[in-house]
Amino acid sequence: MYTPRNPVRPGDLVAARELVPVAGPPVPVPDPAGRLVHLQFRRFAGCPICNLHLRSVARRIAEIEEAGVREVVVFHSPAAELARYADELPFTLVADPDKRLYADFGVESAARALLDPRAWGAVIGGVARSTWAVLRGRDRPPARRQPHGRVGLPGDFLITPDGKVLAVKYGEHAYDQWSVDELLALAAAPRELAQAG
């Protein structure tokens, strides 16, 4: 199991902050409205591998919201580039081109993001899907130059309304993140414990 140099761990407290999305009002983390925040760290805007995962999240966003979870997705792309995708995804997108949030949460980059054989299926599938969509005029290719490269690792954090980190996943490769089913199970766990107690 991969552990970054400065990991955030379950039970840690996240300092309150407001994240500025590429569209819409600032987003407080933790959420004062009482929802859990699923803070996802992805690679770059238009990343074919990330798009596979994010489309699965978008298809099930109603279930996720019904479970009391707010989706906030961070990319290390400039805001202007990320804003091109804001209308396509039904959740908050945050640009972090200086990777300050990535550093705060211990989310790193490594060549194994793409070299790990477990990522190859997603690499092939994501690139094929994106290429086909671009050729049909239904998508646009990502920027050719990525200031922070293409080897970022994903990170998932589930944060309670009081700022406690409920669960963490540091990806070992580019397609290693929580599935929607895993997220929903994690979101249900504190409620089940509260009802049992």
In the chain the domains, ranked by start, together with CATH numbers, are 17-196 (3.40.30.10)
Among 59, 167, 151, which residue's Cα sits nearest to residue 108?
Answer: 151
For the chain, the first-to-last Cα distance in angstroms comes to: 32
Give residue-wise pLDDT tens across range 91-139. Answer: 999 999 999 999 999 997 554 555 555 555 555 555 555 555 545 566 6
Distance CA 137, CA 43 (A): 23
Encoded tokens for 49: 């591998």
If one counts every other C-beta atom within 10 angstroms of the C-beta of residue 132, the result is 11
Average pLDDT, the chain: 81
Identify the pLDDT of residue 67.
97
Among 96, 92, 88, 185, which residue's Cα sits nearest to residue 148?
Answer: 96
Encoded tokens for 7: 């990991």
Bond prior to 30 in cis (omega within 30° of 0): yes
Q: pTM, whole model, 2 decimals?
A: 0.80
Whether residue 70 contacts residue 36, with contact meaning beta carbons closer than 8 Å, is answered with: yes
